[in-house]
Chain A
């Protein structure tokens, strides 16, 4: 490609200009040379004519025509021109080539007439070249009188041949010169082509993003500095691109490792960027979501409204909304405008903070304070009421007093239970943070049996049967008193709330190094809404009922803490109307035999 362009744009014009100048110069000098040649010839002829006229003068008055004739022939022999001697009237007296008698009168020739008038005349026009003859005429004067005219004729052929020969030689030399010149130019042209081609290649590579420096710097004549600079430029651009890429990767890494969801959209609400957390928050699995309209992917009308508000407002926007999925998430969203390098608004950025847990904790704390004061207040109110009655001056009813005191006793026991539970809970909490619980190898069946015995009284009282399902060969490293307390709590719960079922099943098993203890009842069950909060302190499914049953409201919380002290978990499965099953799972992996 460059070859053609170079040929057309550089080589051809140069050659044309050189040729044009050479041809012009040579043409001009040739024509000047020819004029000069003719001039010399004419001069020569004139000279000859004058000399001839002087020599011929001695023959006049004319006595012997033959002698004159011989003289002309002698002249021609010496100069190889044609000499003619004519009389004043124009009649030819002698001629060096032809018979004078046969020649016509010469008086019509302008040269003759001029010579007759006394000057040397010659024809010096191009016409004479065309006619093929130069004529020069000189008068023969004797005693101041023109007695005749000598005419000298020369053929122009000779000069022209000489001239042509010279011209052809000149053209040959010039041709050779031009040829050599073109050769040099052509070679140079090819070298330049090569380096240009290389530069083109490098530039193409650059434009394709390949900035590795490869273009050699020895190709072109005079192109080296340019190539060198290009390479340097490439190196610098490459460096900058690398820096930008690095920064971009850093930003991306930061973005993707953030626990907050980040969502960026452009002005058309098309997704620019979404991080993993945001995708997870909305349960989005597809990977190719950039460039799509965001509410096709994030189908949530609150979020859409929020994004729209962010796009429209110039100030940062804040909002809270829930996302419904497998689990409902409560989201606190911050939105801000996205601006480009020129501070022009190009979209919106939303940071989505999942505050579900935070909210839950807040609720728990609030509820705990409310619950604990309520739980303590109830027995105290009752005690205070009865004590006030007893203290009345006119109170005198030993039977009632006895009954009141029993109630006071009962409420005090209740208070005691609550405070005991609270204390053991807080002790467990503080100990769990500090020291590992002591463990011993325990036969699980034995452990479960002793808990069932502990609850035997309550079971017979409630007319319930406790069933044990456990392999006698199961052993585990646990803290026996703590775990017993937990299972007793669960069994008591089952006895209290599983009334409809007549039966409780306690089972123990080890699966994959995990000890699973479960207590199942066939009572009314628990509704799904209560399940997540069941293990919170003082959380009541039905406040009125469970308080009548005498619970402290801390049983399950204690179970949870005991499980946690064993690095285990508690969970519950329940279907309303079908009963519930509580699980304690303890990982025995590190104690495996």
Chain B
């Protein structure tokens, strides 16, 4: 029995490491994607798109590891919650990786166009999203439900910024109908960032679930 527990403990630590590696990669991807967008760095954007493949592989590895632990050790209580939340976080992280690649695609397109200033809102949105993702991973590392709640709360700010972007782009399209394609690209980059923030929120919710055993999704109050 003791050995069994010890093995499980070791497997869980390994799993944690794997998820964290994935998280780190995704975080860096997002950072690079945002950087490539703001600085019009095509090389960096290409790098992000390439590294998405690696993130996908890592996601598969994490999932396999989770399934292996579930099948071999049949964990209960805390451990089970941990694995279940990792299974969900894993998907979120992978999606964030994809979105980072999408942002990078927009960045490549936008930097190929003539100088089109990136709206300031994108900048602050990107910073906010980066911060949220970082904090949700911090919350995971430290099993800190309070920090996770903070992440959930900042999602609204990103949503507001995204709505503001819609308004701005709408009027910009009306004024410059000939550049509609560029505006659409900017808009979709904004939307991707907003989606990344949503996934960061999901991760934070999973952290709350595994630390407190409480599912806070789809609740107005926090």
Contacts and interface: CB of A to CB of B under 8 A. Distances in A.
B28 A324 contact: yes
B179 to A, nearest CB: 13
Given A295-B20, A299-B27, 16 more contacts: A293-B17, A295-B21, A296-B20, A296-B141, A297-B141, A299-B20, A299-B24, A299-B134, A300-B28, A301-B21, A301-B24, A301-B25, A324-B28, A324-B35, A576-B115, A576-B117
Nearest to B27: A299
B40 A529 contact: yes
Measured as residues with beta carbon below 8 angstroms from the partner, the interface class of chain B is 20 to 34
B31 interface: yes
30 contacts: A293-B20, A295-B17, A295-B20, A295-B21, A295-B24, A296-B141, A299-B20, A299-B23, A299-B24, A299-B27, A299-B137, A300-B24, A300-B28, A301-B21, A301-B24, A301-B28, A304-B21, A324-B28, A324-B32, A324-B35, A524-B115, A527-B40, A528-B38, A528-B39, A529-B39, A575-B120, A576-B115, A576-B117, A576-B118, A577-B117
A300 B24 CA distance: 6
Interface string B16-45: 010011011101100110010011100000
Nearest to B134: A299
A576 B39 CA distance: 12
Nearest to B32: A324
B47 to A, nearest CB: 12
B25 to A, nearest CB: 5
Contacts of B31: 324
A524 B115 CA distance: 10
Measured as residues with beta carbon below 8 angstroms from the partner, the interface class of chain A is 10 to 19
A525 B119 CA distance: 13
Q: List the 10 closest pairs (A to B, CB-CB), nearest first.
A: A576-B117, A577-B117, A296-B141, A299-B24, A324-B31, A529-B39, A301-B24, A301-B25, A295-B20, A575-B120
Nearest to B34: A324
A525 B120 CA distance: 12
Nearest to B119: A577
Contacts of B137: 299
A224 B202 CA distance: 72
A525 B116 CA distance: 12
A529 B37 CA distance: 11
B93 to A, nearest CB: 13
B75 to A, nearest CB: 21
Contacts of A528: 38-39
A297 B23 CA distance: 12
A295 B13 CA distance: 13
A328 B31 CA distance: 11
Interface string B127-150: 000000010010001000000000
Contacts of B117: 524-525, 527, 576-577
Contacts of A576: 115, 117-118
B120 to A, nearest CB: 6
Nearest to A283: B134
Nearest to B35: A324
Contacts of A304: 21, 24
Interface string B98-121: 000000000000000001011010
Interface string A297-316: 10111001000000000000
A543 to B, nearest CB: 14
A575 B122 CA distance: 12
Nearest to B38: A528
A196 to B, nearest CB: 41
B76 to A, nearest CB: 25
A262 B28 CA distance: 22
A413 B208 CA distance: 70
A301 B22 CA distance: 9
A32 B28 CA distance: 105
Contacts of A324: 28, 31-32, 35
Contacts of A527: 39-40, 117
